[in-house]
Every structure is written in structure tokens, then in C-alpha cells.
Amino acid sequence: MMLIVLVGCSSGEATPPPITRPAETAMAQGALVPSLPLNQDGFPIVARVNGEDITQTEFDRALARSSMVGQTTSYDAFADLVLTTLIEQKLINQAAAELGITVTDEEISAEIAQLRTLVPDDSAWRAWLTENQFKDEAEYRQITRDSLITQKVQAAIIQPTRGQVTEIHARHILVHEQGLAQSLATLLRSGDAEFGQMAAEYSKDVTTREQGGDLGWFTADMLFVPELADFALTLPLNTISDPFLTELGYHIIEVLEIRTRAASDSESVQDSQNQFESWLSNQYQNAVIERYLN
């Protein structure tokens, strides 16, 4: 679940057609599906997040600012993405309130002032806002506020990135039957079979079986099933494991070497991103979210 900045540039083309809403669809019996619910001020809402409304106006404005991005996929899929992003921002803003995180008007003004140093005058600034589908500067200030809140929440919930990366060199045999996996593990432990030969003969992992099941050096995020790396780290070196079940089947693993190295800049950035996305996914799963669009 990834939060994206929904700011597009004007393409000069017609905007996508409005999303089909429940009130516009007739039922077979001739009755209408109930229209979008109204909030306490009488405005239609497209979603509710932990009791907080997202109005149709907010949604339509987000679509307008994102018209260029919307041309890269089906309209309904894009509209759903826009709504999901608005929901995620509500979750972030709600978490910020719980954490005591705020953004002042002075901070927003400072951000805008920095951007305006790239624009020659007020007329050019208004043109830039229009070109990027902002109704006015007030709308841009609100988007800037959300962006700054997101940055502060990220800083609060992301733990310092790890300085070291653990790498594992291991080999494995992957089979689909538990009984076969257990029999192979017993043969390998007794010395009555050779690991590479058994991998070549029985392993369903076509990318490694010709190399005797050798996985090479890897970290958890490099594997299709990261839990395999976590399991490997619990094993003594040069020991045949019990069969370990993943969504791919039963693995017999032998860890050959383990080493640590300094994390690269890209790994540190990726680690921070993974932490935030995991946190946001957890917020989403634990929230009460009602969506009212088709």
C-alpha cells in the first residue's frame, strides 16, 4: 500500500467522465440504488474513515489534480486508486493527531516560499497553480500541509535503519510431498545421499536444481518467500534441516556460510520505506473504513 502524491499537469485534453455513483444506476425492479450518503452538513460523502468523512468534493478535486496520471490506466481503477490514497492520508492525519504531530501555517508558508523562488512573479505563480490543476493557493496549502504531516509521521514511526546486513549462503531442495521431503532429509543426514545429486533429481526449483540447489548469497528481501531466510538463520552451519513448509512446498535447507556487511544507501532507504508501508498497512487493517463508490 503506497501513498502517492496526486498532483498532475494539465494535458489540454478532456477530463475523464465522472465516476458512476450508486444513484445513477437503476435496479432491475425499477427502483434506484440509494444515493451517496450525506454528512451532517448535507454534503455527499464517498468514504468514511474511523468516523471522519471524505466528501465528494474532496474526491472530485483529487481526480481533477490527477487527470494526467489517470490516463495511464482504466478510469475506474484510477478512481479507486485516488480514493484509496485519500483514505491513507486520512489515516496518516489521524495518527498524527494521536502522536501530537502538527504542522503550523508558518511551516507551510516556508515550503511555498521556497517553491516560489523558482517562479518569477505572482502572475507566473497563478499560472503554475492552474497548470497543475489547483483551484487556488488555499488548495495547494492544504496539499502541502498533508505532505508535511506525512513527512513528520514517517520520521516518528520509522526506526533508525540497520547498519549491518546479514547475508546467507545456503542450498535447498524443494518438493511438494511432505513424506518425500522427510525421506530425503533422513538420507542426507545419514550420509547415504549427496545433497547436490538429490537436488538435481528431486528439486522442483528449476532455477537452482542444476546447481545442486545452491541459492548463492541472499538476504530475506531477495527471496520470493522471505520466511525461508528467517528459518535459515535459526540453523547451525552445515546441518540438514527438517522439512520447512512455505507456499512453494517443503524445503530441505543446508546453510553453508553466514556473513554481515554494511548496508548500502539504497538498502537503508528501502528499509525505511518498508517500515512505513508496513505501518500504514497495519493502520488500514485496523481502521473502520466505509467506501460508498461503485
Lowest mean pLDDT among 23-27, 35-39, 87-91: 23-27
Is the predicted pLDDT of residue 71 greater than 80, yes or no? Answer: no
Q: Which pLDDT score is estimated for 6? A: 35
Average pLDDT for the chain: 85
Q: Which pLDDT score is estimated for 112? A: 95
The CATH number assigned to the domain holding 154 equals 1.10.4030.10
Are 37 and 148 in the same domain? yes
Is the predicted pLDDT of residue 90 greater than 80, yes or no? Answer: yes
Are 135 and 213 in the same domain? no
pTM (2 d.p.): 0.62
Domains identified in the chain, total number:
2
Are 153 and 175 in the same domain? no
For residue 88, give the 3-state DSSP assignment: helix
Are 146 and 287 in the same domain? yes
The CATH number assigned to the domain holding 228 equals 3.10.50.40
Q: Report the residue count for the chain.
A: 294
> How is 226-278 classified by DSSP, letter by letter?
THHHHHHTTSPTT-BPPPEEETTEEEEEEEEEEEEEEPPHHHHHHHHHHHHHH
Please give the Cα distance from 68 to 7 (Å, whole number): 9
Are 184 and 106 in the same domain? no
Are 154 and 173 in the same domain? no
Are 143 and 188 in the same domain? no
Average pLDDT over residues 31-57: 85
Helices 105-116 and 137-157 sit at what angle, rounded to 10 degrees? 110
Q: Any idea of the CA torsion for 75, 78, 83, 87, to the nearest 10 degrees? A: 170
Are 30 and 134 in the same domain? yes
Are 59 and 142 in the same domain? yes
Residue-range definition of the domain harbouring residue 197: 165-262
Is the predicted pLDDT of residue 15 greater than 60, yes or no? Answer: no
CB under 8 Å to 12, separation ≥6 — which residues? none
Cα separation of the two ends of the chain? 20
Are 32 and 69 in the same domain? yes
Is the predicted pLDDT of residue 58 greater than 90, yes or no? Answer: yes
Are 148 and 46 in the same domain? yes
85 in a structural domain: yes
Alpha-carbon distances of 91 from 7, 87, 183, 211, rounded to whole Å: 19, 6, 50, 48
